[in-house]
Amino acid sequence: MEGLTYKHFLVGAIGAVILFILYRKFVGKKQQGPKPKPREGAAISLGDVQETALIPLAIKANESARKQPRIYDEKAVQIIADLGVDTEKYDKYFSHEGVVARTLLFDEATRELLEKYPEANVVNIGCGFDDRFSRTDNGKCHWYHVDMPDLIELRCRVFGSHERQTCIAGNLVRDDWTKDIPNNRETIIIAEGLFMYFTEEQVKALMAQIKSYFHHGYLLVELMPSFATGNERMHDSVKSTKAHFTFGINDGKEMEKYCDGFTLLRESTFFEAMKRYSWIGWIGDKLFRRIMNRLAIFEFK
């Protein structure tokens, strides 16, 4: 894939505005439902990157409240209410559509791999408040949710315990976060909304740690194009946080060079999910797919 330039960014930005206007006029308002009402809750204190976990949480809660939700996340609705989170700050149009599409693609890929390896260990790194377990569980697999201590503490509080789910407080830029995870089964690593907050060197080190410890498995990772690096102020939801985009890549194939043993199986832009339920997504897939985030699936061995 050729490098993306500022010209691509400008064209994409203009196209995104056009798509936004068209969607809001012909589609969006018809689909909106009442947003979950937050109850009075304790103040939430999270790190800069950890706060971004509230973005997909808010979006999934609000999407679930629509008349015809494309994804339904009962836990997100409950957490938003219990923690007293005001979703207005985090749920913006482009982020909303992106999170819905991303959720659909990651859920489908997870189910596909669990059909092949029903007793696999699923390791959700940078898990936030994700409840993919409830949407994809097959009754046999075990999930390990890994995130920074402040977020894991809050996650444990709102999710409670489960016999096939384990929460692990760990720093992914260190090499000790894997020590409590067994490596005697096929492993499915999920990295959703994570790599863009790492540096390239940190991504390389994390891939090396995954390969060294788990030996064989699959990495499902969200990738953003390189032009987005440093442009978090242009993101409709992330700009409301203090997080920064520090990694982007235009072709997942290039990441095979980061660590021996990783093979890219496929990449799917989020437009591929959007076009199923909206002609706006179909237009985006035809014209702007090069500037859209995507799901990349790697096998490592």
Structure confidence at residue 250 (pLDDT):
96
Residue 254 lies inside a defined structural domain of this protein: yes
Structure confidence at residue 278 (pLDDT):
82
Structure confidence at residue 184 (pLDDT):
94
Residue 30 banded pLDDT, cuts 50, 70, 90: very low
161 contacts: CB under 8 Å, gap ≥ 6: none
Residue 16 lies inside a defined structural domain of this protein: yes
Pick from 108, 22, 104: nearest CA to 60: 104
Pick from 282, 142, 121: nearest CA to 217: 121
Residue 2 lies inside a defined structural domain of this protein: no
pTM comes to 0.86
- Kindly state the tokens that stand for 130: 């994700």
Q: Which residue has the tokens 């097959």?
A: 138
Residue 4 banded pLDDT, cuts 50, 70, 90: low
Residue 158 banded pLDDT, cuts 50, 70, 90: very high
Say if residue 301's pLDDT is above 70.
yes
Residue 96 lies inside a defined structural domain of this protein: yes
**Ramachandran bin of 111, using left for φ above 0, alpha for ψ from -120 to 50, beta for the remaining angles:** alpha
Where in the sequence is the domain holding 147, given as residue range(s)?
Answer: 8-300
Structure confidence at residue 13 (pLDDT):
56
SS3 121: strand
Structure confidence at residue 1 (pLDDT):
47
Q: Residue 71 has what DSSP assignment? A: S
Residue 1 lies inside a defined structural domain of this protein: no
Q: Which residue has the tokens 């060079």?
A: 257
DSSP E strands in the chain: the ranges are 121-125, 142-147, 165-169, 187-191, 217-223, 262-269, 294-300
Say if residue 94's pLDDT is above 70.
yes
Q: Residue 162 has what DSSP assignment? A: B
Residue 3 lies inside a defined structural domain of this protein: no
Residue 23 lies inside a defined structural domain of this protein: yes
Give me the helix-helix angle, 149-159 and 74-83, nearest 10°: 110
Residue 55 lies inside a defined structural domain of this protein: yes
Residue 284 banded pLDDT, cuts 50, 70, 90: confident
Quote the number of domains for the chain: 1
Structure confidence at residue 189 (pLDDT):
98
CB 141 within 8 A of CB 217: no
Domain of 98, CATH number, reads 3.40.50.150
- Kindly state the tokens that stand for 40: 């009075």
Q: Mean per-residue pLDDT for 116-127?
A: 98
Alpha helices in 43-92 (DSSP H): 54-64, 74-83
CA distance 239 to 46: 16
**pLDDT tens, position by position, 33-64:** 555 555 554 456 677 788 899 999 999 999 99
